[in-house]
Copies of this chain bind each other. A is one copy, B any other.
Amino acid sequence: MLTSIYMIAITAEAMSGALAAGRRNMDLFGVALIAFLTALGGGTVRDILLGNFPVTWTQHPRYIYMTIAGGLMTIVIARFMRHLHQLFLVLDAIGLVAFTVIGCNVALKLGYDTVVVVMSGITTGIFGGILRDIMCNRTPQVLRHELYASVSLVVALLYLALLSHGVTENITLLAAFSVGLLLRMAAIHWKVSLPVFRYSQDRWD
């Protein structure tokens, strides 16, 4: 089940990457590369940080094809994005939760400390979007907009708390997805975001 959700998730993330590339007028190659990076970059950064070699996608070529196909397909359906907006936000939120849970699981299996497990989940959840924004030369959006990275944090903490209390994997997953999706949708609907830190002194230090 988590694998099917993962497929949906990487396709949604690949589309988000392709749209960002389109805003920078990139060529087909750029669109494919940014789609790939957005979808699989979070997991790649996680694998490298945890020393988890070989990196996941190098062992699953179909993930590579899916993200590139998702990116290029986006060019065709971009004109309908306005109508697909709601659906897209839901898919993106599903991706965020799925990536977070998978990231926690990878670090758990490698025996890392709990705080590292949480960071592994968050890294998997948000770093694809961060790499996308760095490649498109803009300040990472996930650190500024409605609750996004925070949803990943809540999902990771909830997931670990339930597992450590002996709740079954299935119920834990159900809870993680329910809470994560609700929280993200509520944040978008009511424009909830974390408090922002504004600082404007000139000197860089």
Chain A interface residues (CB < 8 Å from chain B):
16, 18-31, 33-34, 44, 48-51, 53-55, 58-59, 61, 64-65, 75, 78, 81-82, 85, 88-89, 92, 112-116, 119, 130, 134-141, 143-145, 149-150, 153, 193-201, 203-205
In whole Å, how far is A118's beta carbon from the nearest beta carbon of chain B?
A: 10
A167 to B143, CA, bound (A): 47
Query: A23 to B200, Cβ gap below 8 A?
Result: yes
Determine which of B23, B61, B135, B205 lies in contact with A19 in the assembled complex, contact meaning CB atoms within 8 Å: B205
Can you name 20 A-B residue pairings with CB atoms under 8 Å?
A20-B204, A22-B200, A25-B198, A26-B143, A27-B144, A27-B194, A28-B197, A29-B150, A30-B197, A34-B143, A48-B49, A49-B58, A58-B116, A61-B115, A64-B115, A64-B119, A88-B205, A92-B205, A134-B135, A135-B139
- A78: chain B residues at CB < 8 Å are 197, 199
Within 8 Å by CB of A27, from B18, B114, B137, B197, lies B197
Nearest-CB distance from A73 to chain B (Å)? 12
CA–CA, A61 and B114, complex, Å: 9
Copies of this protein in the complex: 3
Q: A127 to nearest B CB, angstroms?
A: 10
The residue on B at minimum CB distance from A199 is B22
**Does B141 contact A139, Cβ atoms closer than 8 Å?**
no
List 7 extra interface pairs beyond A51-B54, A64-B116, A64-B119, CB under 8 A.
Answer: A20-B204, A22-B197, A28-B197, A29-B150, A29-B153, A50-B54, A134-B135
B residues within 8 A CB of A194?
27-29
Known: A58-B50, A150-B29. A19 touches B141 (CB 8 A): no
Closest to A152 in B: B29
A66 to chain B, nearest CB (A): 12
